[in-house]
Amino acid sequence: MKMILFFNLIIFFNVFIATISSSNAYIPDASLSVPKIIKRHGYPSETHIVDTKDGYLLEVHRIPHGKNIKQYRNFPVFLQHGVVASSADWIINGPKKALAYQLADNGFDVWLGNSRGNTYSRTHKSLSPDSEEFWNFSFHEMGIYDLPATIDYVLERTNRSQLYYIGHSMGSCMFFVMCSMRPEYNYKIRAQISLAPVAYVHHMTSVLNSLVPYATQIQKASNWVSKGAFLPQNAASKLVNKYLCGDNAMNSALCKKYIVYKMFGEDSVQFDMALLPIILGHNPAGTSVKTLIHFAQEITTKNFQQFDFGIEKNLEVYNCSHPPKYNLSNVIAPIAFYYAKNDILADPLDVVELYSRLPNRLGINLIKFDQFNHVDFLYSKNVTEMVYQSVMNTLFKAEFADWIPEIDNTTAFNVSSDYNQCYDERNARKTKNGFWQKITSFIKRKEVYPLKNYMVEDHEENVRSRHTIKNAWNQTHFE
């Protein structure tokens, strides 16, 4: 039944695209690669290849300085895009507006990351992107492999010990994974800025949420069709660009209504329709289906936790029947948040809950515009006044050591954060005899969501934190 619904959706979408047509003017920023666009606008542009510990080759783009300014500030800035996006996100809004250009104009050395599996990072030392093994990753691997490799590379190239990190959406999520699993990287971050931060996602109201019940089917279908790749930048997305979201007025209206607003939140004031061909020339840039399944699990379990393989495999991988939660106490890098009321992906309730659990907080800023949505952080008309000026101020202030909270570099981290969570379970397992163990694991395997038991405990935690959220809500500020 669900399967039929799912295929109907796909058919509907294809017919929808095929029945609409329009003519399209040539827009260079929509079809050129990121380094070429940067160069086209008169900025210096470099391309670097970073190899990760597990063999992926990532393309990193750099704008080492502004058009004329040759003076470097003290810290490089690393920008990390969100899910199914690419480094293009940071330049789509064009010179004067887009964050990458503005940072370069202000003397920063700007580095734009590309996570594994997207348009620019589809290469591996030994695996082919046509193999299932290649797509066997989620934001977890991006956090523990991609980010550390890229950060080390940038620091080595620039001969610095620290950098600024700015992440949009999943770009912040990967950061929290890195700092909780590989806490030594906290010290390499001067300050982190999260735009539309994502980690808890259970209040999400985006149309994407309604796909969660179909997660398993989507995974099966995609393994069959694409070996686990999701929305790679190919002919299909070019078609959307050309036919559904072209410059014809009716197409744009449909595109706005059915694609942009349903996914990211309705904003007819700040969303710049003129940018749409450029946005869709670069997005979707592809990721793995496993990444989406991992997010779907976070929605279902209301937790920020590692990938759930199912009980049997969890025991093998985690020595525990359920996946361990990411330990946010380990994320001690100084962090500032920017979030928006009309962000239906990074819901304010989820954002404030996440913020309240971080130990080193530089400030949480609610964008002072009620319609501001998830992608307005990148593409909106007034993004400079509304977001980037404050972001820039945060970076300038962070250059002064006394403004940054002291980080105790003797902190004892516990990376195996499942220790406490799984200790009781392991003890119980030891005392159980083999027969009962088999019976209980058989019963548990029958459950659709094996995490039920843990959700009860978390429910109380949520009620408690909801209280904190309510109080925190009015304390948010914007400078």
Ligand X SMILES: *[C@@H]1O[C@H](CO)[C@@H](O)[C@H](O)[C@H]1NC(C)=O
User: What does the alpha-carbon distance between residue 420 and residue 321 come to, in Å, rounded to a whole number?
Assistant: 13
Show the site string, 140-159: x = touches ligand X by CB under 6 A, - = not: -------------------x
The dihedral over CA atoms of 413, 452, 449, 439, expressed in degrees to the nearest 10, equals 100
- Does a cis peptide bond (omega within 30 degrees of 0) precede residue 28? no
417 forms part of the interface with ligand X (CB under 6 A):
yes
Instruction: Note whether 414 binds ligand X by CB under 6 A.
Output: yes
How many residues can be counted in the chain?
Answer: 479
Q: Which of residues 362-391 bind ligand X (CB under 6 A)?
A: 381-382, 385
Cβ pair 300, 449 in contact under 8 A:
yes
The size of the interface with ligand X (CB under 6 A), counted in residues, is 25
Q: How far is the CB of 18 from ligand X (least distance, A)?
A: 34
The residue annotated as part of the active site, out of 252, 347, 374, 465, is 374
Write down the least CB distance from residue 419 to ligand X, Å.
4
Is residue 343 annotated as a catalytic residue, yes or no?
yes
Among 29, 89, 272, 343, the active-site one is: 343
How does DSSP assign 151-204, residue by residue? HHHHHHHHT-S-EEEEEETHHHHHHHHHHHHSGGGGGGEEEEEEES--S--TT-
d(CA 280, CA 370): 25
Is 449 near ligand X (CB under 6 A)? no
- How near is the Cβ of 181 to ligand X at its closest, in Å? 11
51 labelled catalytic: no
Rounded CA-CA distance 147/80 in Å is 9
The piece of 46-54, 66-74, 209-217, 322-330 that touches ligand X (CB under 6 A) is: 322-330
- Per annotation, catalytic residue among 115, 121, 138, 169: 169
Span near ligand X by CB under 6 A; candidates 109-117, 256-264, 347-355, 467-475: 467-475
In the chain, the amino acid numbered 230 is F
Position among 421, 450, 451, 454 found at the interface with ligand X (CB under 6 A): 421
Q: How far is the CB of 409 from ligand X (least distance, A)?
A: 4
- 128 makes contact with ligand X (CB under 6 A): no
Question: Residue 26 in 3-state DSSP?
Answer: coil
Positive or negative torsion for Cα 403, 155, 285, 2: negative
In 3D, which of 378, 406, 381, 478 has the Cα closest to residue 167? Answer: 378
**For residue 42, how many other CB atoms are within 10 A of its CB?**
12
- Give the distance from CA 374 to its chain's centroid: 12
Task: Work out which of 71, 126, 409, 433 binds ligand X, going by CB under 6 A.
Answer: 409
Taking CB under 6 A as the rule, which mask of x and - marks residues 63-82 in contact with ligand X?
A: --------------------
The binding site for ligand X (CB under 6 A) comprises 132-133, 136, 159, 317, 319, 327, 329-330, 381-382, 385, 409, 412-414, 416-417, 419-421, 426, 470, 473-474
The catalytic residue positions are 169, 343, 374
